[in-house]
């Protein structure tokens, strides 16, 4: 398994529960992220994200004011943000398929289900380091490429003959 080497310096953990933000920040520090900041509401998170660049953002789905998905959408859409291209991992206790799709469509890079251990977080960081995704800018989407796998479709015509 690849070791995460890309995001070793700075991270922002955004969770409305202070103790959970501190726990995740401690996990990151144990993995080498010495400069780890915490935010417990959307307003403070927006301030931190606009103030300086981070190498990683971890955000809880339960965030309000603004909602976590909306915060990521704003981050990705802002051409002036120093964190527009920063990988974002969203964590959630009970995500459903609709919420995961909304997060993906807002520009979340990875998803992590709570509760998790440090090895689960490390696996996501390893995935980010081993498989960086291009940043896509389209009319209705800005964020990491949502396609997970490359698929060779060949050159043969796959449609049947037309009548």
Can you give the residue ranges of every domain in the chain? 10-144
What is the arithmetic mean of pLDDT over 4-25? 84
pLDDT mean over 109-128? 94
Q: What is the pTM of this model?
A: 0.84
Q: Is the dihedral of CA 27, 31, 34, 39 positive or negative?
A: negative
- β-pairing verdict for 56-60 and 35-39: unpaired
pLDDT at 2 over 90: no
State the CB neighbour count (10 A cutoff) for residue 144: 20
- % of the chain residues with pLDDT over 90: 71
Tokens for 149?
């796998």
Phi, psi of 43 (to 5 degrees): -65, -45
Domain 10-144 is of which CATH architecture?
3-Layer(aba) Sandwich (3.40)
Mean pLDDT, rounded, for 66-71: 94
Report the C-alpha gap between 6 and 163 in whole angstroms: 54
Residue at token pair 């996501």: 124
Residue 105: pLDDT over 90: yes
- Residue 54 confidence class, pLDDT cut points 50, 70, 90: very high
Segment 20-42 shows an average pLDDT of 95
User: In angstroms, rounded to a whole number, what is the distance separating the alpha carbons of residues 35 and 151?
Assistant: 38
Tokens of 21: 């933000």
| Burial class (CB within 10 angstroms; exposed 0-12, middle 13-18, buried 19+) of 94 | exposed
| Count of other CB atoms within 10 angstroms of residue 138 | 7
Q: pLDDT at residue 36 above 70?
A: yes
């Amino acid at each position: 398994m690849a070791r995460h080497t890309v995001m070793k310096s700075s991270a922002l953990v955004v969770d409305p529960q202070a103790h959970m933000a501190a726990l995740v920040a401690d996990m990151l520090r144990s993995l080498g992220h010495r400069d780890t900041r915490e935010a417990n509401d959307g307003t403070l998170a927006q301030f931190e994200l606009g103030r300086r660049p981070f190498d990683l953002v971890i955000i809880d789905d339960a965030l309000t004011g603004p909602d976590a998905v909306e915060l990521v959408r704003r981050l990705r859409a802002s051409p002036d943000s120093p964190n527009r291209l920063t990988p974002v991992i969203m964590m959630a206790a009970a995500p459903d398929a609709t919420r995961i799709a909304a997060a993906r469509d807002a520009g979340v890079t990875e998803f992590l289900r709570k509760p998790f251990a440090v090895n689960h977080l490390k696996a996501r960081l390893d995935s980010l380091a081993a498989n960086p995704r291009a940043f896509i800018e389209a009319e209705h989407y800005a964020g990491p490429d949502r396609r997970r796998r490359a698929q060779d479709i060949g050159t043969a015509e796959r449609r049947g003959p037309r009548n």
